[in-house]
Amino acid sequence: MNSKKKESGFEKLANKITCWTGSSLAFGLAAGAVVVWIITGPIFKFSDTWQLVINTGTTIITFLMVFLIQKTQNKDSKAIQLKLNELIAASRKASNRMVDIEDLDEEELDTLHKFYERLSDKAEAATDIHESHSIDAADQLQDEKNKPEN
């Protein structure tokens, strides 16, 4: 894939805004705006309009940021899932059934979680922290490891 793929206008804008809003400068400006608002309280006699200014401004910014953050989160989540899928596919002993499990429903994920709890219990019982277990062969591997050596 070409990492220099042309991004849409919205994609570019969303990336720039999310990067900027996570910066120290953005936080400083937001904190400065709150300080200015607090200082102007006595000047405007703490009126309803004075309160409305900060409430309206923060509500609008929060409303828009929710969508930008969600868009960024969706993109990051998809990229992480693809990287994990690649690691699973590339690992000889990993279970390929784990690829795309994010598409399973909650009940199916709970069932898988129970299998991994069992696998974790077996791994905790092992004396070597470098032992590797596959969900497909956990019982067989554990039985083999418990056999006395000749």
What is the Cα–Cα distance from 143 to 150, expressed in whole angstroms? 15
Do residues 42 and 56 share a domain?
yes
Do residues 86 and 14 share a domain?
yes
Which of 70, 90, 110 delimits the end of a domain?
90
Asked whether the predicted pLDDT for residue 135 surpasses 80, the reply is no
The domain in which residue 132 lies consists of 96-146
- Cβ proximity of 96 and 135 under 8 Å: no
What is the number of structural domains in the chain?
2
* Chain segment 52-64, per-residue pLDDT in tens: 999 999 999 999 9
How far from 88 is each of 30, 68, 81, 98, CA to CA, in Å? Answer: 43, 30, 10, 7
Do residues 86 and 100 share a domain?
no
Do residues 67 and 32 share a domain?
yes
* Chain segment 78-127, per-residue pLDDT in tens: 999 999 888 888 887 777 788 888 888 999 999 888 888 887 887 777 76
The per-residue DSSP string of 44-88 comes to TTT-HHHHHHHHHHHHHHHHHHHHHHHHHHHHHHHHHHHHHHHHH
Which of 90, 109, 136 delimits the end of a domain?
90
Do residues 68 and 106 share a domain?
no
Band of residue 147 on the pLDDT scale cut at 50, 70, 90: confident
In a domain, residue 111? The reply is yes
Which of 81, 73, 137 has the alpha carbon at shortest distance from 104? 81
Do residues 46 and 106 share a domain?
no
- Token duo for residue 62: 């929060």
Q: Is 142 helix (H, G, I), strand (E, B) or coil?
A: helix
Asked whether the predicted pLDDT for residue 3 surpasses 70, the reply is no
Q: Is 94 helix (H, G, I), strand (E, B) or coil?
A: coil
In a domain, residue 37? The reply is yes
Do residues 45 and 71 share a domain?
yes
Asked whether the predicted pLDDT for residue 9 surpasses 90, the reply is no
Do residues 75 and 100 share a domain?
no
Do residues 116 and 74 share a domain?
no
Which of 63-72, 98-107, 129-138 holds the top average pLDDT?
Answer: 63-72
| Over residues 17-21, mean pLDDT | 92
How far from 75 is each of 51, 64, 119, CA to CA, in Å? Answer: 36, 17, 31
Tell if the pTM clears 0.75, that is, is over it.
no
Do residues 84 and 29 share a domain?
yes
- Cβ proximity of 10 and 68 under 8 Å: no
- Cβ proximity of 89 and 98 under 8 Å: no
In a domain, residue 4? The reply is no
Do residues 111 and 82 share a domain?
no
